[in-house]
Every structure is written in structure tokens, then in C-alpha cells.
A and B are shown apart, each in its own frame.
Chain A
Amino acid sequence: MGAKGRRTIKKIKALRGLFAALTLLSACGRSDEPAQGTGGDPARGRIALQQYACTTCHIIPGIVGAKGLAGPPLTGWANRIYIAGILPNTPDDLVLWLRDPQRISPGTAMPNLGVTERDAWDMAAYLYSLK
């Protein structure tokens, strides 16, 4: 991951911290809200999910021909609790997973597909639109 990527994640973490503080202050935060607002472009992400061959192994709603059964279906992604049964399903963890699944879960059948940081954020934006 580049320095820019780390900075982005730091920024997001800082923003999330701020958000958490604000919700605590206002005492009306809901912890069960699905992850949202990745800042990526879902329309671009939809194409990227095809261009990185995700559709070969995953059923992805809204993408024609995405019928793969090698991996789990990505239906209702926004409400998924864990990524690969390992990471909590948050946008920054999803981006980490998409970019380097073998580091998170060595030996997983999901290969490293060379996903760039921008494309990972765009894919995340599309996936979190799946309710």
C-alpha cells in the first residue's frame, strides 16, 4: 500500500473516531447501521468488479453474468458482519482485503488480483450499495 493509501486510511480512521465521539455526545448513535459512505464511485466499481474477474467466482447482484460459485455470493453485502470470516466488515478493512487477501488469510482460494487502491474503494462503494 502506498503512503497515500495509508494516509487515506488514517484520515478515515480519524473521521470515524470523530464520528464516534459525536454520536456519543449526541447519544443518539446507532451501532447497528450498516457501513456506508466509502467515498468511492459505485458505477466505476461495478465495472471494476468485472475487470478484476470477481464475477468469475462470486454471485454479485446487479452484474450480468456474475454467477460464480467458487466463492461466497456477495448478496446483501452492506449487512454482512465479517469479511472472509476474519475481518469486521468495515470499508477500510474491505479495501485491505480486496487488495491483499493472501496477507489477511494465507492460503485462501481468493488470489491477489492486483487491485489498485482507487479501484478497491470503487468496488467497496458498489458492494456497500447491496442491501
Chain B
Amino acid sequence: MALSRKFLIHAAITVVLLGGLGILGAAVVVLGGVYNVAAIYQHTRPVYEILDFALDRSVEVRIGGIVAPPLEDPLLAERGFHIYRDKCVQCHGAPGVPPDDIGKGMLPLPNNLAQTAREKSAEYIYWVVANGIRMTGMPAWQYRLNERDLWAVVAFVELLPEFSPKEYGEWERKAGER
């Protein structure tokens, strides 16, 4: 009885001391400016992997209620292409098309969306386009594009893995002629 009480008191003191040490350590890191925020230096590997995983989970748990409309309509994808060309290609590039300097200088780097289309659902992509991702440079588009246009962008992104660089160039030329 006496032993377990003594143990509890010691445990409590240990927890308080460790907590204080943690706060002190955090204060040293923050006030000392220890962590480099420069966009030319990537996070350390553990920080990057945790953030990357947390980002993915954060989106996954929030897309439950979203149901994608039919996206096969070629006119919808074409509409999406025009929006993509105006607002997305600067940072994300396209098949055979580099991102602009703004996109290249960012960290995290904007994803190659052909790969994103392979790996993620239409609902996932919709959520990211509509809501953006804080502190990554990805803007929220829901206050700039209406619902139909948001899905048009998704429809086009879903098509990206099927584009050869040559075909993408043809779409660009076609759009330029109009």
C-alpha cells in the first residue's frame, strides 16, 4: 500500500519534470530559430513522412459524404482542360509541359497530377481542389470555381494518365485556335 503510493508520487513528479523539460526544449527550438523554414531545404525525413501521412489521413477522413457525378462526359473534361490550363499548369505542369518558376520554387513541390490521378479517387481530388491544403501553396478553389467547374477539373485530372505529351500539345493547339 505505502509502496504503491510512493510509486504514484514519484511517477507524478517524473511526469511533471519531463513535461517541463519538453516545454523548455520546445521553447529553445522555437526561440532559438533552430528549425530552418527555407524552401530550399526539405523537412527532415521523420518530420516529412509524418506530415505526408497526416495530410493523406486528414483528407481521407473528410471525403466520406462526397459522391462524384458521372465524369465521362468529354465536354466536361474539355471544360476542365481550359480551367487546368489557366489555373493549374503553372504549378503542376502537364505531360511534357514544365511548371512555371513559381511551381518549381515551392516546397512541398506541387504533385505530378497524372500520378495523383492514378493513386487517388475522384472524391479525394475534388476535396483537395475545393478546400486547398494549408501551408503547402495549394489554394482552395471553391470560392473561385462553381461546383460544376470543380468537377470539370477533376474530370480532366482523371484523364491525365492517358495523355501522351503529344496529345496534350494537340489539346493546347486546339484551344489556342479558338
Contacts and interface: CB of A to CB of B under 8 A. Distances in A.
B104 A113 contact: yes
B14 interface: no
Dominant SS among interface residues on chain B: loop
A107 interface: yes
A65 B93 contact: no
Contacts, number: 63
Contact of B109 (A56, A70, A113): A56
Interface in B143-172: 164-166
Contacts of A107: 96, 164-166
Interface of B: 40-45, 48, 52, 93, 95-99, 101, 103-105, 107-112, 114-115, 164-166
Contacts of B165: 107-109
A90 interface: no
Interface of A: 47, 50-53, 55-57, 63-65, 68-70, 102, 107-114
A52 B93 CA distance: 12
Residue in A69, A107, A109 whose Cβ sees the most chain B Cβ within 10 Å: A109
